[in-house]
Amino acid sequence: MKKIINDPSAVVADALKGVEAAHPELKVDHQHKVIYRADTPRGGKVGIISGGGSGHEPLHGGFVGLGMLDAACAGEVFTSPVPDQMVAATKLVDGGAGVLHVVKNYTGDVMNFEMAAELAAAETGVEVISVVTDDDVAVQDSTWTAGRRGVGATVLLEKIAGAAAEQGRSLAEVADVARKVNANGRSMGAALTSCTVPAVGHPTFDLGDDEFEFGVGIHGEPGRQRLKLVGAKELAELLVEPILADLPFASGDAVVAFVNGLGGTPLIELYVLYGEVARILAAHGVTVARSLVGPFITSLDMAGASVTLLKVDDELLGLWDAPVRTPALRWGI
Amino acid sequence: MTNRVTVAALDAWLRAFAGLVAEHEDELSRLDAAIGDADHGANMNRGLTAATAALDALAAGEPPPAAGAVLSRVGMTLISTVGGASGPLFGTFFLRMGTTLGDHETPTVETLAAALRAGLAGVVQRGKAEVGDKTMYDALAPAVEAFEAALAAGEPLAGALAAASKAADDGCTATIPLVARKGRASYLGERSVGHQDPGATTVGLFFRAALDAGIDAAAAGREAG
């Protein structure tokens, strides 16, 4: 394992020190491992927090700032944060208008956020609404599974719900916008390599030089199928077609097209993939209203990419274009 | 004379559990790598190391802690330190045990059985798992049933714990051919077949720890709280 770290067990704590040093507009509660806006709480504004296992940076801490999250809880690598952390974050951002919890649909995350929402409400009376993202079409949704995973749409949701909160909308309205994003977003990913969890020290799974993992998640958990390596054109088809069929997206729809790197794939390859994705969308008559290309929800050093499509109307597009100033996303300011 | 279990014995059981998880950390993470995300061993070891420290702090206090306080402290510590699904699930298990044991200093073995049953109910409530979902439930439920059955058949505590341990181990092995229907392993569908569930394996270690620690009833004549 070759990593720029001091001690495998201190990676999260050390990274939070770096975040604090790099971004004076943010503060860090090191005890609870919470990154939060220096200007929170803001009276009358709905607070938005998220959180999850570390290793997906910039998600979630890199999205704390004006027009997006008010706070983010960092769990251990690939492990949900614990309720104490979400309770601390909820109290930090509660400006009296309630707090939205953005939760990716993983068993651990859902359980810990549920406990936190109960504890926070019991301790301070704060109103909490949780919105769970589950946009990964790789997982068959059924009563016999934990349901679909929350992946790329989470990034788009945090941006759009953050803009709605910044406009002064109520908690119920912000939650509605968040649910609308989740309902209209779909994702699919593929990994070319495994990732290496620092505390483990070796790759989570083995992949042959000529193989890739199709329908992969963001934790190094194996995907839907192991396939022989293909070129960017064919990979784009494999990723985009199931997404289009699932919502379904139709000719004439406008989308935010998001090509995401999983951490170990260079931007040049993401643009190769984006070009192929754009070509497929054009062939289906789907209009790309906005695009986002880059590593925004990663899986440590995993090579690979995911595609997320979000069907947008004027409301979602207006919120997408609203000003945002965070370490990882900033425009309009 | 009633068969009772002392706080010291419960403390020893929990420490033996922490020791076994530390010893098997890599194995638990390897099992998790096959159908999850390879961190179950590290997470449980981190939580139980913190729980052991909490037990030290409790033991140093005056008056000595009651049985319920010991189990509850372990549960709260796991909820606060483990994360993932294992934190709320194992944490809830010990918290519910603690609630049932209450402020008894030397609960009866029947109270211990009721505590294990309450712990199991807490796990079901939090995780919504059912038999055959390939989860910790598949080791815990048969272990609790075997413990109750052995006590009902007149087995002493040590014998009932041995029966529970065997049932838990059998339950672990029985998860191997199952298709996972809960948690991250469920994403794999049929690909989860052929692997033993890591959470069930940790439950197996919990009951094995009772045997390793030599837990037996104190032939206590002393009436306690």
Q: What digits encode the pLDDT tens for the residues B83-129?
A: 889 999 999 999 999 999 999 889 999 999 999 999 999 999 999 89
A284 carries an active-site annotation = no
Residue A234 to chain B, least CA–CA distance (Å): 24
Amino acid B83: pLDDT: 87
Q: Does residue A252 register a pLDDT over 90?
A: yes
Q: Residues of chain A whose C-beta is under 8 A from some C-beta in B?
A: 53, 75-84, 106-108, 111-112, 115, 138-140, 144-146, 149, 197, 199-200, 204-205, 217, 219-222
Distance in Å, alpha carbon of B86 to nearest chain A alpha carbon? 7
Average pLDDT over residues A211-221: 88
Structure tokens at B60: 């140093």
* Pairing mode, strands A185-191 and A211-214: antiparallel
Do residue B83 and residue A139 have CB atoms under 8 angstroms apart? no
Concerning whether A32 is annotated as a catalytic residue, the answer is no
Query: In whole numbers, what is the pLDDT of chain B averaged over residues?
Result: 92
Query: What's the confidence (pLDDT) of residue A333?
Result: 85
List alpha helices for chain B, DSSP H.
7-23, 25-35, 40-60, 67-81, 86-101, 109-127, 137-152, 157-174, 198-212
Mutate to test the interface with B, among A56, A106, A111 (most CBs of B within 10 A): A111
**pLDDT (0 to 100) of residue A234:** 98
Distance CA B14, CA B22 (A): 12
B57: CB partners within 8 A, 6+ apart: none
In this predicted structure, what is the pLDDT of residue B223?
Answer: 40
Proportion of chain B above pLDDT 70, given as a percent: 96
How far apart CA B22 and CA B25 sit, in angstroms, is 5
**A127 within 8 A of A101, measured Cβ to Cβ:** no
DSSP state of A79: S
Q: pLDDT digits over A1-35, tens only?
A: 899 999 998 999 999 999 999 999 999 999 999 99
- A197 to B85: CB separation less than 8 angstroms, yes or no: no
Q: Residue A226's closest chain B neighbor by CA?
A: B191
Q: Verify whether the Cβ–Cβ distance B83 to A115 is below 8 Å.
A: no
Local structure of A263: helix, strand or coil: strand
- pLDDT for B220 beyond 50: no
Total residue length of chain A: 333
Question: Does ipTM exceed 0.85?
Answer: no
Residues of B with CB under 8 A from a CB of A: 29, 33, 36-39, 42-43, 46, 79-89, 126-127, 181-184, 186-189, 191
Shortest distance between the Cα of B130 and any Cα of chain A, in A, equals 11
Give the closest of B29, B33, B126 to A111, CB-based.
B126
Distance from CA of B163 to the nearest CA of A (A): 31
Cα–Cα distances in angstroms (integers) from residue B223 to residues A20, B108, B220, in the given order: 57, 10, 8
% of residues, chain A, pLDDT over 90: 88
In angstroms, the CA B22 to CA B28 distance is 10
From B38, B42, B85, residue closest to A108, measured CB to CB: B85
Every domain of chain B and the residues it spans: 2-213
Chain B residue at shortest CA distance from A52: B84
Phi, psi of A259 (to 5 degrees): -105, 120
Our CA-based measurement puts residue B82 at a distance from the nearest CA of chain A, in whole angstroms, of 7
C-alpha–C-alpha distance, residues A226 and A239, integer Å: 14
Res. B2: pLDDT tops 80: no
Mutation choice for A interface testing from B79, B131, B187, B192 by most A CBs within 10 A: B187
Beta-carbon contacts of residue B22 (< 8 Å; ≥ 6 apart): B45, B48, B49
Q: Please, what is the angle between helix B109-127 and helix B157-174, to 10°?
A: 20
Residues of chain B contacting residue A115, judged by C-beta atoms under 8 Å apart: 79, 88
Q: Summarize the confidence of residues A251-274 as an average pLDDT.
A: 98
- Are B85 and A75 an interchain contact pair (Cβ–Cβ within 8 Å)? no
pLDDT tens string B121-164: 999 999 989 999 999 999 999 999 999 999 999 999 999 999 99
| CATH fold group of domain B2-213 | 1.25.40
pLDDT tens readout for residues A296-316: 999 999 999 999 999 999 999
Which bin fits A300, alpha (ψ -120 to 50), beta or left (φ > 0)? left
* % of chain A residues with pLDDT over 70: 98
pLDDT exceeds cutoff 80 at B196: yes
- Among the listed ranges A67-76, A82-91, A251-260, B188-197, which one has the minimum average pLDDT value? B188-197
pLDDT of residue A222 exceeding 80, the answer is: no
For A40, the token pair is 């929170």
Q: Which two tokens stand for residue A314?
A: 């004027």
The arithmetic mean of pLDDT across residues B17-23, rounded, is 98
Asked if B156 and B216 count as a contact pair (C-beta separation under 8 A), the reply is yes
B184 with A146: Cβ contact below 8 A: yes
Which residues on A lie below 8 Å from B85 (Cβ)? 80, 106-108, 111
Asked if the peptide bond before residue A203 counts as cis, ω within 30 degrees of 0, the response is no
When pLDDT is averaged across residues A240-257 and rounded to a whole number, the result is 97
Spell out which residues of chain A touch residue B126, defining contact as CB-CB under 8 Å.
111
Alpha helices, DSSP H, located in chain A: 11-22, 83-93, 107-124, 153-166, 171-184, 232-246, 267-283, 314-321
For residue A219, pLDDT over 90 is answered with: no
Catalytic residue among A23, A32, A56, A60: A56
Q: Encoding tokens for residue B151?
A: 């006590």
Count of residues making up chain B? 225
